[in-house]
Amino acid sequence: MKRKVMEESIINNKKSIGSKYKILIYISISMLALILSFIVNIIFKLDKSISYVEFSLIFIKSFNFILSILALGSCLISYCRLKNDSVFIISLMYLVWVIDILLGHIDYLSFYFREYTLSNYLTISTSLARVFLLIITIMPKSKIRNIILKNKKYSLLFVVVYTIILGCIEHNIKFYGLYHSNFIFVNYNRLLIIIYILCSIKLFITGIKEKEYLFVVLSLSISMLAVKAMIAIYGVNNISFYLKLVSVSITYISFLIVICGAFIELYMYICKTRILNNNLKIFYNLVENNKHSFMFICKENGELLYANKKMKNDGLFGNDINLSKFEEMIKMRNRSLELDEIIKLLHENKGWRGIIKDEAEDITVDCTVQLIEMDEESAISVSFMDISDEIKMELEFEKLKVYDKSKNEFFSNVSHELRTPLNVVYSTLQLLNMYSKNESIDFKEIYEKYKKPLDINCKRMQRLINNIVDISKIDKGILSANFGNYNIIAIVEDVTLSVVNYALLKNINIQFDTNIEEHIIKCDATMIERVILNLLSNAIKFSEQDTNIFVNILVNEEWVEIDIIDEGIGISENNKQIIFEDFVQADKSFTRMNEGSGMGLGISKSIINLHSGDIKLESTVNVGSTFKILLPNIQIESSDFKIYSIDKHNIELELSDIYEVS
């Protein structure tokens, strides 16, 4: 279908160009035939014994006719190029002139008489036809003009028949009283002067406004006819052979202006066309061989006018490129866009540009649609390019920037976290060193007094180092789980009971509840213990005194849901989106109320992901938070049930930030 439409377009263009060439060839052949016929006529008359005056008149007539033919041909050639209706009507005027000269009804007759009269100067019927056509030229809204333009072939035929018949009748049947009246001759020429000048001015203004050089040339040619009429009036009382030659010469000049002007205008057109073709060649190569953009141009009804090589060869639209296919692409990429809306914006703004996304195929397209105004109707140009890679690179760059920022914050936070317990350990060691040198003091008693801060802060550093190691394993994708079949109810309950003493220090009440007393699932017990400890540690640290923490387990056919609910400070909406990312804390300041590196929730999420589960957060600021852990309700087939005992050391490490516990 695509190839057929393009072939038809090419064939129509070739036919249009071929028809123009045929018209130009016909015009050229006709002009040459007429010119050759007069040259042959002159050659045959060379053998005859005629006076030099007679031969001069034959030459004047022949040369005048040749110039008139060339002037007519120049107008017709200009019309074929410009397709301007006014040029066609002026061509009809010059056609009347050519026939008049051919039949001997103008100019050279005056040489046979000693005075200027209508009978030997011009034929009124054909003169009126020329004047009438000239007036029609400057009247664009005339009904007669529309009739002439709608029936151009018949108009040509009518002009030829009218000029020949009426010219011959008037030339042979003289109305002597009318034709020999100086009063009528003078006033008729005055009328011609007025009409020629007005028409000349109108054509000149039209040429300036439309920036069409040919109308300025025609204006100058018509103005010479006004000068010819002035000389005719002057010649009524001052007749001479020289004056008659001047009158004929003005006719020559009028024709020569048209001929030279048409050739100059044609030369300018050729130069502009050459420049335009060079620019078009550059544009065509730029568009046709574009390696990045898909481009096609079509009419508003969907008919394809052009598609570049990438568009045709890529196969994005299959074998049929049109607006309906483009509409399908828009709907496929972005459901919120409609082609009708784009077309409406086109007519309002002459263009539209948008980003079309296809999340399913992970494609992003930068699309530009533009309205192209043509002579008869408008066309639509569509170009688009795949910018998915650029968008991905930009997103990756933004992620790297965020990651780099988070990493810097993390290292600053870790430095702070390490410095605090290290300072405590170092200060305690200095104190112990100082007491150890004093023999009067019981060193054991002193050591027992300061052993607790040493122990707590060493555990804090150990926990921090363990987290850093685990984060590194997660980044490298080497963190693995040791799965087995464990009683998930017993694990969660034992972990909960192990932190009760820590909670009581802030007078926080912990309640445990489950809808089933025992349930076996596939899990890594050590990892689950670590996740529950982290969430309970956070709940205790970020809850005020005299509040409650609830640990609930709900088992259904698909999931085991573990809910840890506190009545603490809560988490804002902005922080909810990033709280599970590595190195992230809701409070990043070094003056925060509770210690922590911000790695615990990130590690917890990674652990739950290893279990093919999910962890969710519901929170309201100053009301509390709920962390929901979802674990698949599955078991390892052909594997025995394992009993897991809580590791007291892990509990001490995870809750080492709560200093009050001995």
Q: Identify the burial level of 246 via C-beta atoms within 10 angstroms of its C-beta, where 0-12 means exposed, 13-18 middle and 19 or more buried.
A: middle
| Residues of the domain holding 620 | 480-649
| 580-635 pLDDT per residue, tens | 775 555 444 433 444 445 678 888 888 899 999 999 999 988 889 999 999 999 99
Among residues 445, 475, 505, the one where a domain terminates is 475
Considering the domain boundaries, does residue 324 fall inside one? Answer: yes
| 357-378 pLDDT per residue, tens | 766 556 777 778 887 776 667 7
b/e per residue, 314-344, with b = 16+ CB within 10 A?
A: eeebeeebbbeebbebbeebbeebebeebbe
pLDDT band (50, 70, 90) for residue 407: low
pLDDT band (50, 70, 90) for residue 578: confident
Considering the domain boundaries, does residue 34 fall inside one? Answer: no
Question: Residue 72, SS3?
Answer: helix
Same domain, 302 and 341: yes
Other beta carbons within 10 angstroms of residue 380's beta carbon come to 21
Classify residue 336 by its DSSP letter: T
Q: Across the chain, what does the average pLDDT equal?
A: 77
Same domain, 491 and 575: yes
Same domain, 445 and 382: no
- Helices 323-333 and 339-349 pack at an angle, to 10 degrees, of 110
Cα distance between residue 27 and residue 73, in whole Å: 6
Considering the domain boundaries, does residue 65 fall inside one? Answer: yes
Question: What is the average per-residue pLDDT within 62-82?
Answer: 81
pLDDT for position 16: 47
Residue 125 has pLDDT above 80, yes or no: yes
Give the 3-state DSSP-derived string for 452-514, with helices as H, strands as E and coil as C.
HHHHHHHHHHHHHHHHHHHHHHHHHCCCCCCCEEEEHHHHHHHHHHHCHHHHHCCCCEEEEEE
DSSP per residue, 377-417: S-EEEEEEEE-HHHHHHHHHHHHHHHHHHHHHHHHHHHHHH
**Tokens of residue 128, six digits:** 């009126």
Residue 2: partners with Cβ closer than 8 Å, 6 or more residues away: 304, 307, 312, 319, 320, 321
Same domain, 645 and 531: yes
Q: In Å, how far are 281, 390, 448 from 628, measured between CA atoms?
A: 66, 38, 42
User: Looking at the chain, how many residues does it have?
Assistant: 662
Strand-pair category, 379-386 with 294-299: antiparallel
Give the 3-state DSSP-derived string for 619-644, with helices as H, strands as E and coil as C.
EECCCEEEEEEEEECCCCCCCCEECC
Between 49 and 307, the higher pLDDT residue? 307
pLDDT for position 284: 78
CA angle 215, 149, 140 (to 5 degrees): 50
Considering the domain boundaries, does residue 662 fall inside one? Answer: no
Assign residue 465 the CATH number of its domain.
1.10.287.130
Same domain, 396 and 424: yes
Between 578 and 562, the higher pLDDT residue? 562
Cα distance between residue 465 and residue 459, in whole Å: 10
Cα distance between residue 171 and residue 165, in whole Å: 10
pLDDT for position 409: 65
Query: Is 610 within 8 Å of 435 (Cβ atoms)?
Result: no
Assign residue 349 the CATH number of its domain.
3.30.450.20
Same domain, 182 and 89: yes
Same domain, 415 and 489: no
Query: Is 299 within 8 Å of 374 (Cβ atoms)?
Result: no
Query: Is 485 within 8 Å of 521 (Cβ atoms)?
Result: yes
pLDDT for position 560: 94
Assign residue 635 the CATH number of its domain.
3.30.565.10
Other beta carbons within 10 angstroms of residue 55's beta carbon come to 14
| 523-560 pLDDT per residue, tens | 999 889 889 988 998 899 888 899 999 999 999 999 99
Question: Which amino acid belongs to residue 347?
Answer: H
Same domain, 247 and 109: yes
| 296-348 pLDDT per residue, tens | 787 776 677 777 777 777 655 555 555 555 555 554 444 445 566 666 766 67
pLDDT for position 522: 93
Tally the domains of the chain: 4
Considering the domain boundaries, does residue 30 fall inside one? Answer: no
Residue 104 region by backbone torsions, left for phi larger than 0, else alpha for psi between -120 and 50, else beta? left
Among residues 238, 273, 308, the one where a domain terminates is 273
Question: What is the average per-residue pLDDT within 148-164?
Answer: 89
Considering the domain boundaries, does residue 280 fall inside one? Answer: no
Task: Find the range with the poorest average confidence among 32-41, 139-148, 305-314.
Answer: 32-41
Same domain, 248 and 312: no
Classify residue 318 by its DSSP letter: T
Considering the domain boundaries, does residue 44 fall inside one? Answer: no
Residue 119 has pLDDT above 70, yes or no: no
Same domain, 356 and 242: no
Classify residue 141 by its DSSP letter: T
Considering the domain boundaries, does residue 198 fall inside one? Answer: yes
Among residues 329, 352, 386, the one where a domain terminates is 386
Other beta carbons within 10 angstroms of residue 652's beta carbon come to 17
Between 570 and 403, the higher pLDDT residue? 570
Same domain, 248 and 195: yes
Same domain, 507 and 624: yes
